Amino acid sequence: MSRLNELAKNIGSNWIAFATSVLTAFFLSPFIVHHLGNTAYGVWTLVISLISLLGLLDLGMRGAITRFVSRNHAQGNHEEASRAVSAGFWLRLWIAFLIVAISAVLSALAPVILHIPPELQLAARWAMLLVGASFALTLACGVFGGVLVALNRFTYVSGLTVAQTLLRAVGVVWLLTSGRGILSLAIWEFAVAVLINFTLFALSSRTYPQLRISLKKPDPELFRQFVSYSFYVFIINCATVAIYYTDNLVVGTFVSAAAVTFYSIGGSILQYLRQTVTSVTTIFMPLASGLEARGEHSELRRLLVQGTRFTLFISMPIALTLYFRGHTFIGLWMGPQYAPVSGQIVQILLLAQVFSIANFTSGNIAYGMAKHRPFAIAVLAESIANLALSILLVLRIGMTGVAWGTVIPNLVIQLFFWPRYICRLLEMSVRSYLWQSWARPVLATVPFGVACYLTDLHWGATHLLQFFLQIVAILPLLLLGFLACFWKEIVWQLESRWGGWSKLFFRK
């Protein structure tokens, strides 16, 4: 299979998994909110957010496992690959035990600290224990997901993601229509985690039969190799989790549990936007690693330009729609009472999110080249500033202050750190990179953005079907913008008669 076909297959499988998650969440979110109510849904969101913070203990080992297994498998060194996976599994098992212990402590303290209503405190405690156990199991078995990714079995990983999403959805609908609450949701979450992670282990064993798992303590040299790569990945993961999950906790602590519902609706929409791009850019990391190992630096620069253009051309139409029509969409989707506040949260967070997405390709290239140390320092500083600003501003201007506390540090990192760093790393001109990778795709989406604004101003939708039909009606403007900004590439494509749509869009 050619590189292009393999990339297309991996991207396609990732998008199927992502689309399943988004569509399921799209239909389930209003269902869950209306069945649980604002307060119970806010408590459930706080439980998930608090346990997700334990992702700080991941130590960044999945990336290290993927790197070691990919290299050793290609060289036929199955013993070294087995040692690496065994070491990662041994370490993650101990971390999983620690997560369960911390979950038990949190279950006792969180209901009081987060001002959870008395009638929900018992359910919240047990839900936190069960969600913590589910998270611990998933983290421990994540090493087997790293093996599948190293072997380019993205279709297996995506298939399990689809299965997990659908199983969760079926259980949620059944439990809530039966009058159950957040404790039942947590029990179902644990049951699904057991089933999916057992299947993940089985698929990993079948795909890599030479793999031998040992629970012996890893030798110091192998441990040192893990730490040398994983430490800064760990810092990045810690900071990223803190950035995206402390917002709900700040709102829950300084405003109310019910307010978390309004904030999390806006935040979850942008999470789907990030996942849209992540489903593409994840495959750039092993690709960049291979290019760097072969000394193909010109191809690395081409990957940077191509990948950044592609991610922006995917994300910008969604971002423009959400910025100009997000409040309308939320009102039709979740209910009119959520539109003003959640819509404003979306608009604020989008100011930095677009630039963050533009740098997703840069981040994966830096990971693939093992040049992520400066990024770790930058994102750690961002997370500290994020938390401090969010607390300061929430006391002054309320819930929107939390959003501004997230946006300001993120803008500084995305605008002033990443372009300079990646261009210095790949020996490129910053001006040329920004024009070719950022400016041109953004300019191509301007007509579409203007149409979104005018549509919402003069022809407001009254139901979701009408909303989406309006979006479809103005999509040709996106094509016109693309033709206007990339006409030279189109002419070159026609003249050279190269096959493949990606060559048309990605020509440098």
How far apart CA 309 and CA 46 sit, in angstroms, is: 36
Q: What is the number of structural domains in the chain?
A: 2
Q: Cβ atoms within 10 A of the Cβ of 486, count?
A: 20
From 218, 235, 269, give the residue that closes a domain: 218
Least confident of 65-79, 410-424, 453-467, 492-506: 492-506
Q: In this structure, are 192 and 300 located in the same domain?
A: no
Query: Rg of the chain's alpha carbons, rounded to an integer?
Result: 23
How far apart CA 19 and CA 273 sit, in angstroms, is: 11
How far apart CA 234 and CA 173 sit, in angstroms, is: 36
> In Å, how far are 56, 65, 84, 135, 449 from 98, measured between CA atoms?
12, 21, 22, 11, 48
Q: In this structure, are 208 and 231 located in the same domain?
A: no
CB 458 within 8 A of CB 328: no
Least confident of 130-139, 320-329, 367-376: 367-376
Q: In this structure, are 46 and 167 located in the same domain?
A: yes
Q: In this structure, are 274 and 193 located in the same domain?
A: no
Helix-helix angle 3-52:78-113, to 10 degrees: 30
Q: In this structure, are 160 and 267 located in the same domain?
A: no
Q: In this structure, are 292 and 375 located in the same domain?
A: yes
Q: Cβ atoms within 10 A of the Cβ of 7, count?
A: 17
From 171, 201, 218, give the residue that closes a domain: 218
Q: In this structure, are 7 and 127 located in the same domain?
A: yes
Q: In this structure, are 212 and 231 located in the same domain?
A: no
Q: In this structure, are 243 and 188 located in the same domain?
A: no
Assigned token pair, 146: 């790293």
Q: In this structure, are 10 and 40 located in the same domain?
A: yes
| Per-residue model confidence as pLDDT tens digits over 445-482 | 999 999 999 999 998 888 989 999 999 999 999 989 88
Helix-helix angle 118-150:182-207, to 10 degrees: 10
pTM of the prediction? 0.70
Query: Of 230 and 410, which is predicted with more confidence?
Result: 410
From 218, 244, 265, give the residue that closes a domain: 218
Q: What is the DSSP letter of 282?
A: T
Amino acid in the structure at residue 168: R
Least confident of 2-6, 89-93, 137-141, 237-241: 2-6
Report which of 85, 8, 71 is spatially closest to residue 289, judged by C-alpha positions.
71
Report which of 434, 89, 403 is spatially closest to residue 264, judged by C-alpha positions.
403
Q: What is the DSSP letter of 208?
A: -
> Terminal CA-to-CA distance of the chain, rounded, Å?
24
Q: Which residue has 């998650």 as its token pair?
A: 21
| Per-residue model confidence as pLDDT tens digits over 226-279 | 666 677 777 887 787 777 778 888 988 898 878 888 898 888 888 888 877 887
> In Å, how far are 75, 156, 277, 465, 507 from 502, measured between CA atoms?
31, 25, 16, 31, 8
Q: In this structure, are 205 and 247 located in the same domain?
A: no
- Domain of residue 137 covers 1-218
Give phi and psi for 499, each to the nearest 5.
-90, 160
Q: In this structure, are 179 and 249 located in the same domain?
A: no
